[in-house]
């Protein structure tokens, strides 16, 4: 077992930049959602990348086949994480990346926030830090609420929420917050690797996706974002 790296104490960060990131979040979420619906834009924008990257090329080929099917998805869910750093020279908030798949650390991030607040409650006066200045972190609850909302929209009380994991999952403890789905929302979750989905999955004529005989209402991908996740055609 390898402990996830953390900072023992919180890092000082301008409140104005924190608020800016929070204000930008729904804007970026809507932008990504709109881009995901524009198949031609995606294909055209990544056309040059497709020529030099085999993985992207394969994904775009699959995307083209889906576009040809002309199947409209009325229910969509994005679990995103936008990463920022403070530029040393300009002191501006700069976006590093926007994660649209395998958005992780909601679970561990909330625990670190609690750790920092607890430490500052006990030692903040000695350190010159105020625990009340630590922003709240509700990522775990919001992720669970979003998945539960998507599950509800699917309108099948017997359906499950599926989390797609890697064969040798190293970050499983960050995923334990998913138990909130069962405890708070009465949504059953299953964990499957891509190989297990290949062997157990079945797509019905009406579009229902079964895994192990269970209808899947919503999928949370924690795998499938890298070529190493696809060692074979299956």
pLDDT tens-place string over residues 132-188: 999 999 999 999 999 999 999 999 999 999 999 999 888 988 998 888 888 999 999
Higher pLDDT, 174 or 1: 174
- pLDDT score, position 73: 82
Residue 16: per-residue pLDDT:
96
The maximal CA–CA distance of the chain, rounded, in angstroms, is 65
Please, are residues 208 and 215 in contact by the beta-carbon 8 Å criterion? Answer: yes
Q: Which domains does the chain have, with CATH numbers?
A: 10-76 (1.10.1080.10), 140-234 (3.40.50.1760)
User: In 45-65, which positions are buried (b, 16+ CB within 10 angstroms) versus exposed (e)?
Assistant: ebeeebeeeeeeeeebeeeee
Rg, Å, the chain Cα set: 20
Q: What is the pLDDT of residue 112?
A: 96
Whether pLDDT at 233 is above 90: no
Judge whether residue 2 has pLDDT over 90. no
Paired tokens of 45: 């924008």
Distance, in Å, from the CA atom of 12 to the CA atom of 127, rounded to the nearest integer, reads 12
User: Looking at residues 43-67, what average pLDDT do you find?
Assistant: 96
- Per residue in 177-224, pLDDT (tens digit) is 888 888 999 999 999 999 999 999 999 999 899 999 999 999 999 999
Question: Of 78, 228, 232, which Cα lies nearest the Cα of 147?
Answer: 78
pLDDT score for 32: 97
pLDDT in tens, 65-120: 999 988 888 899 999 999 999 999 999 999 999 999 999 999 999 999 999 999 99
In order, the DSSP letters of 107-159 are: HHHHHHHHHHHHHHHHHHHHHT--GGGSPP--HHHHHHHHHHHHHHHHT-TT-
pTM of the model: 0.92
DSSP codes of every residue in the chain: --PPP--SSPPP--HHHHHHHHHHHHHHHHHHHHHHH-HHHHHHHTHHHHHH-HHHHHHHHHHHHHHHHT---S------EEEEEE-TTT--EEEEEEE-SS---HHHHHHHHHHHHHHHHHHHHHHT--GGGSPP--HHHHHHHHHHHHHHHHT-TT-EEEEE--TT-S-GGGGGGGHHHHHHH---EEEE-HHHHHHHEEE-TTS-EEETTEEEEEEEESS-SSGGG-SS--
């Amino acid at each position: 077992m390898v402990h996830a790296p953390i900072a023992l104490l919180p890092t000082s960060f301008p409140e104005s930049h924190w608020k800016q990131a929070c204000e930008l979040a729904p804007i970026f979420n809507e932008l990504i959602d709109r881009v995901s619906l524009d198949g031609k834009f995606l294909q055209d924008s990544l056309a040059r990348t497709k020529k030099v990257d085999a993985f992207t090329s394969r994904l775009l080929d699959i995307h083209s086949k889906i576009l040809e099917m002309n199947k409209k998805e009325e229910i969509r869910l994005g679990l995103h994480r936008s990463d920022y750093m403070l530029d040393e020279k300009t002191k501006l908030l700069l976006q590093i990346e926007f994660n649209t798949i395998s958005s992780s650390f909601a679970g561990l991030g909330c625990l670190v926030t609690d750790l920092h607040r607890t430490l500052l409650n006990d030692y903040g006066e000695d350190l010159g830090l105020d625990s009340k200045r630590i922003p709240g972190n509700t990522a775990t609850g919001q992720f669970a609420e979003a998945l539960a909302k998507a599950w509800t929209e699917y309108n099948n009380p017997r359906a499950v929420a599926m989390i797609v994991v890697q064969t040798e999952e190293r970050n499983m403890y960050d995923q334990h917050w998913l138990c909130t789905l069962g405890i708070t929302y009465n949504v059953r979750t299953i964990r499957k690797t891509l190989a297990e989905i290949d062997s157990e999955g079945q797509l019905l004529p009406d579009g229902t996706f079964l895994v192990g005989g269970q209808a899947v209402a919503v999928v949370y991908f924690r795998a499938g974002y890298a070529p190493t996740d696809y060692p074979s055609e299956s």
